[in-house]
Amino acid sequence: MDIIACIKRVPQTAEADVKIDSSGKDIVKDRLQFDMNESDTYALEEAILLKEKFSGSLTVISVGTFDAEDTLRIALAKGADNAIRIKAEDFGELDGYKTAQLLKAVIKDLKHDAIFTGCIATDDYYSQVGVTLAELLGMPHASLVTKIEIDGNTVHAYRELEGGLLEHLAMSLPALFTIQTGINEPRYASLIAIRRAAKKEIKVIGKEEINAEDIVSFSSLEKLFTPPVGERAEILSGTLDEIGTRVQGIVKEKGLL
Amino acid sequence: MRGIININPEIRDAILESGGDDAIKCYSCGRCMAACPWNLIDDLDYTTYRFCQRIKLGAIVDSEAKEDIAADTDEVFRCIGCDSCRHECPRGVNLSDVLRAVRRILVDYDSYPAELKGVISRLYSSGNPLGESSAKRADWAKDLGIPHFDGTQEFVYFPCCLPAYDARLKLVAEATASLLTKAGISFGIIGEEEFCCGEAVRRVGAEKVFQSAVNNNTRVFQKFNVKNVITTSPHCFKTFQTDYPAFSDIQIMHVVQVLHQCLADGKLKPERPFKKKVVYHDPCTLGRQMGIYDQPRELLQSIPELNLVEVPVFNREFSVCCGAGAMGLWRDWPQDQRLVKIRTEQIFATGADVLCVACPYCLQMFEENFKSMNVDIEVMDISEILFSSLGQ
Ligand code: SF4
Ligand code: SF4
């Protein structure tokens, strides 16, 4: 089985002190750690598990600048066979639609029975790339997948819906899956695989191979800003004790308890 | 039982190059395993004596099977750097440094315990493991009238991240600053521009993040022309001395050394009785690693009516780690695999009313664990006990 996993290198912002930079269109990144996007680590693991079960090849692809090669190497160390970087620097500002077109331009010429992506990226939270890519390739797809089983030619994909409901889809391959966190337990890399990965060549594809004129954006970023405090929001300040007492007071005043 | 292994010189060389060359000295005598506190836990075999041999053969974290890699990686990240093994090792092998070399390679490949990711990322972005804003780093000192260090004071007091931000540990920084003031020591704080010393982050192998801490603190200390530093944490104390090349001409002192000197000079006079049975826990970094055992005990013995007791056998160089080192404070080990429980039982058996510590990590670890185990022993930093014994 030939499998493709699409991964993205993102800054870890969940617990960081995030500031908007002087361009007003990006955040200050020089004090941020970068990692593989969280749901992509689960997508990659799902792809590795499938490859281990059915044998075949696993190719990882990332649209990113040079640093993304570190992330691709991590994927190689964990079990991917080949890695491709699409040079983000060649294609200007990217939205999910444009990223999906770039991926399509490369993937259409690769053998693929299954494609895995994360369900959402923790930098822009667009959640567009996987599903747009499936449409561009004309493939059946399932988003936000929490379990996959393969039975002959049929793939059973399970998706979490609101209210604790599970949706069960029976699909045929080739298909694309956007993977939810928690579906599996992403693995560590072994030192043997790390040494191997360190020496592997990463294929780099840029504007020489992909005609940039055909690739267009759907949206452009105007400005980044922190949400203004809404009229009904009240920001509490003070010591932990003071804030606690105030919250207790508010809960009582509003009759919430 | 593993089958016949394949020698992998490439893995061996990579580990030796990343700082694991002490492994070469080991001859598998196994004394380290007997000394390692993890082996005080029932049903846990931490076979420390095998690490160096496996490294020399390049046969560590070398399996291709997911479960084996996970088990091996967990072993590599279990060591909390207490140095009990090093103290016993006939060849002086620094096992925690050897394991750190393995960790460095794994961390670069995102192969380390998930619970450490948030702490490392917080430390890198905000300069402290709690993710607090650097603008608030001097808030603990706001009402104490402590000046910002400007070169006219003799010492910089470096409180460590936990005492700078944590509500309970701020009391330790306050007591220390008050003691120093009473003793007439001239000191200031750096506050906002300080960065975590990075000792713990280095131990887990996140070397790039550690280097950013070194660069930041070096720049700031040089800017203010700092010559003398007092630390509350043994971890800052040790790291500034051993891992900051640019600090070689700066005098770094742990607070117990300074207070001990003040006592000898008659600048501090503990007069008020402290009528309690107190047991002193030697922090690994202050005791085994920096050799400071007597000064804290002499400080406590100078306090009227304080009854100082020892944990039998497991005291001084045989003290058992609380488990907080090398970011152990942030690890999620199962309840039945926690070093702090072992140490708590030893402390409880002394019948002490108060546990005296001289390290912010120990304080936090014990206090949290005493609460969860319903142990009615008060945890106090040595500076808090000393401060409460001063006359008006
Ligand atoms: S005590 Fe030292 S020489 Fe003996 S097995 Fe342990 S590390 Fe090796
Ligand atoms: S440093 Fe402590 S925890 Fe680590 S191996 Fe040695 S004795 Fe065990």
Residues of chain B with C-beta less than 8 angstroms from the C-beta of A197: 109
Each residue's pLDDT tens digit in chain B (392 positions)? 567 888 999 999 999 999 999 999 999 999 999 999 999 999 999 999 999 999 999 999 999 899 999 999 999 999 999 999 999 999 999 999 999 999 999 999 999 999 999 999 999 999 999 999 999 999 999 999 999 999 999 999 999 999 999 999 999 999 999 999 999 999 999 999 999 999 999 999 999 999 999 999 999 999 999 999 999 999 999 999 999 999 999 999 999 999 999 999 999 999 999 999 999 999 999 999 999 999 999 999 999 999 999 999 999 999 999 999 999 999 999 999 999 999 999 999 999 999 999 999 999 999 999 999 999 999 999 999 999 999 66
Check if B55 contacts A (Cβ < 8 Å).
no
For B248-300, how does the pLDDT look when each residue is reduced to its tens digit (9 = 90+)? 999 999 999 999 999 999 999 999 999 999 999 999 999 999 999 999 999 99
CATH for B268-388 is 3.40.50
B81 lines ligand 2 (CB under 6 A): yes
Residue A174, preceding peptide bond in cis (omega within 30° of 0): yes
For A139-198, how does the pLDDT look when each residue is reduced to its tens digit (9 = 90+)? 999 999 999 999 888 999 999 888 889 999 999 999 999 999 999 999 999 999 999 999
Residue in B83, B282, B284 to alter for ligand 2 test, most ligand atoms within 8 A of Cβ: B83
Q: How far does the CA of residue B152 sit from the closest CA of chain A (Å)? A: 32
Say whether B109 and A33 touch across the interface (CB within 8 A). no
Please tell me the distance from the alpha carbon of residue A220 to that of residue B329, in angstroms, as a whole number. Answer: 44
Domain parsing of chain A, residue ranges: 2-214
Residues in chain A: 257
CA B196, B199, B200, B203 dihedral sign is: positive
| Angle of the A191-199 helix axis to the A68-78 helix axis, nearest 10 | 130
User: CATH 3.40.50: which residues of chain B?
Assistant: 268-388
- Mutation for testing the B interface, residue in A18, A190, A194 having most B CBs under 10 Å: A190
Can you point out the beta strands (E) in chain B? 155-158, 187-188, 228-231, 251-254, 277-280, 307-309, 354-357, 378-381
B98 lines ligand 2 (CB under 6 A): no
Given a contact cutoff of 8 angstroms between Cβ atoms, the answer to whether B360 and B169 are in contact is yes
B85 lines ligand 2 (CB under 6 A): yes
Q: How far does the CA of residue B12 sit from the closest CA of chain A (Å)? A: 10
Q: A84: which 2 tokens?
A: 């491709």
Given a contact cutoff of 8 angstroms between Cβ atoms, the answer to whether B76 and B320 are in contact is no
Please tell me which residue of chain B has the smallest CA distance to A194.
B109
DSSP-assigned states of every residue in B200-256:
HHHHTT-HHHHHHHHHHHHHHHHHTT--EEEESSHHHHHHHHHT-GGGTTSEEEEHH
The structure tokens 């000898």 sit at B264
This prediction's pTM: 0.92
Is 3.40.50.620 the CATH classification of the domain at A2-214? Answer: yes
Is 1.10.3720 the CATH classification of the domain at B9-112? Answer: no
Q: Of B221, B213, B252, which Cα lies nearest the Cα of B128?
A: B213
Given a contact cutoff of 8 angstroms between Cβ atoms, the answer to whether B49 and B33 are in contact is yes
Q: Which of the residues in chain A have pLDDT under 50?
A: none
B79 alpha carbon – ligand 1 mean position (Å)? 15
Given a contact cutoff of 8 angstroms between Cβ atoms, the answer to whether B320 and B346 are in contact is yes
For B187-245, how does the pLDDT look when each residue is reduced to its tens digit (9 = 90+)? 999 999 999 999 999 999 999 999 999 999 999 999 999 999 999 999 999 999 999 99
**A interface residues, B as partner, C-beta within 8 Å:** 12, 14-17, 31-33, 35-36, 41, 73-74, 77, 187-195, 197, 239-240
Please tell me the distance from the alpha carbon of residue B216 to that of residue A54, in angstroms, as a whole number. Answer: 50
Q: B237: which 2 tokens?
A: 């104390």
CA A186, A192, A197, A198 dihedral sign is: positive
Given a contact cutoff of 8 angstroms between Cβ atoms, the answer to whether A84 and A106 are in contact is yes
